[in-house]
Amino acid sequence: MFVIFCTPTTFCFKTTPSKNRMILTRIIRQMFRKSPRVRTPIKALAQADIIKMLPKLSPPVHNACANFFMPVFWETSNPESVVTSATEIINLAASGHHFADNFLTWGRNMSMLDDHPFRQAWESNLESVSDEAIIWRRYVLACAAYHCVQLQGDFVECGAYTGVGIKTVIDYLGGVEFPKMFWGYDMFEHDPSMLNHAMPEHGEGLYERIKNKFAAYPQVRLIKGFIPNVFENNCPDRIAYLHIDLNQAPAEVAALDYLFDRMVPGGILILDDYEWSTYRPQKIAEDQWFEARHYRVMPLPTGQGLVIKR
């Protein structure tokens, strides 16, 4: 909801009454005219310059795979037994194991740990054990961003929260030289009327703290407000990368209604909660939304869902 307050103003004219009315009409129209859609304030780079900025592939170790064991998980009746069982399994299994974020597997290449520029971006932005545990999810975002940064269009995240996801992606792809505008939307606080659950950092002061985090990044635009109202006059025309993590179905569907058609062909959408059974209402609502448009969401073992815009 937008509320406009008009304070009393005195207009002085030394013209004819009819001309007074014409001038006054113009002024009033200008006052209530919608603001133009915000344009990207950063200098656009040529495709060749963007390619030069892409992180280089790290030389792999041919005879060994890294392992990742970070027992952060939920939805179990006996966490201690889960850790014990997972430890027994990885001791019996081949190298290349991963246990974190409700995801146990082995015999994997663990590509995110071979990618040194990603590891540097990820490690430098860790703020919590949860940030550390969701390394695989973060790498999905980073790889999607690597592709999308070479397309026309801006980057968008709905559910920016502490900004760690945005900053990890940006630091992976140039840091302060990141060549795209990145829009982050969130309420940055919570109250009991909201359908989504509260997060640990939600509260007064979070918005200002996250804005300060990006003080050196002119290409980041953080916008506080409810979706979809917050998009009005605060939304890019073209979107290459879209990450939605709102923890509730109505807001995510509203974001899709407003943003999906703005995505450019080849753009990538990541739905953070899609394959998590905790958020099954979101999957069901989004499946119906995409079915009407002849898309299928690709479920990922990380719990995310992926869609490529055609």
Print the SS3 string covering the chain. CCCCCCCCCCCCCCCCHHHHHHHHHHHHHHHHCCCCCCCCCCCCCCHHHHHHHCCCCCCCCCCCCCCEECCCCCCCCCHHHHHHHHHHHHHHCCCCCEEECCEEECCCCCHHHHCHHHHHHHHHCCCCHHHHHCHHHHHHHHHHHHHHCCCCCEEEEECCCCCHHHHHHHHHCCHHHCCCCEEEEECCCCCCCCCCCCCCCCCCCHHHHHHHHCCCCCCEEEEECCCCHHHCCCCCCCEEEEEECCCCHHHHHHHHHHHHHHEEEEEEEEECCCCCHHHHHHHHHHHHHHHCCCCCCEECCCCCEEEECC
Mean pLDDT of all residues belonging to the chain: 86
Give tens-digit pLDDT for 130-153. Answer: 999 999 999 999 999 999 999 999
When mean pLDDT is compared over 19-28, 182-191, 206-215, the highest value belongs to 206-215
- Using CA atoms, how far apart are residues 125 and 109, in angstroms rounded to an integer? 23
Q: Which H, E and C letters describe 91-126, residue by residue?
A: HHCCCCCEEECCEEECCCCCHHHHCHHHHHHHHHCC
Beta strand 103-105 with 298-299 is unpaired
Half-sphere exposure of 37 (CA within 13 A, CB side): 7
Please check the confidence at residue 208 and state whether its pLDDT lies above 60. Answer: yes
pLDDT in the model for residue 306: 98
> Taking the domains of the chain in order of start, what are their residue ranges?
64-114, 116-308
- Using CA atoms, how far apart are residues 57 and 174, in angstroms rounded to an integer? 14
Average pLDDT over residues 15-43: 42
- Using CA atoms, how far apart are residues 142 and 302, in angstroms rounded to an integer? 14
Tell me the whole-structure pTM to 2 decimals: 0.84
Give tens-digit pLDDT for 264-308. Answer: 999 999 999 999 999 999 999 999 999 999 999 999 999 999 999
Give tens-digit pLDDT for 97-124. Answer: 999 999 999 999 999 999 999 999 999 9
The CATH label, of 3.50.50.60, 3.60.20.30, 3.40.50.720, 3.40.50.150, for the domain at 116-308 is 3.40.50.150
Average pLDDT over residues 177-191: 89
Please check the confidence at residue 26 and state whether its pLDDT lies above 90. Answer: no
Please check the confidence at residue 71 and state whether its pLDDT lies above 90. Answer: yes
For residue 20, count other CB atoms closer than 10 A to its CB: 14
pLDDT in the model for residue 200: 64
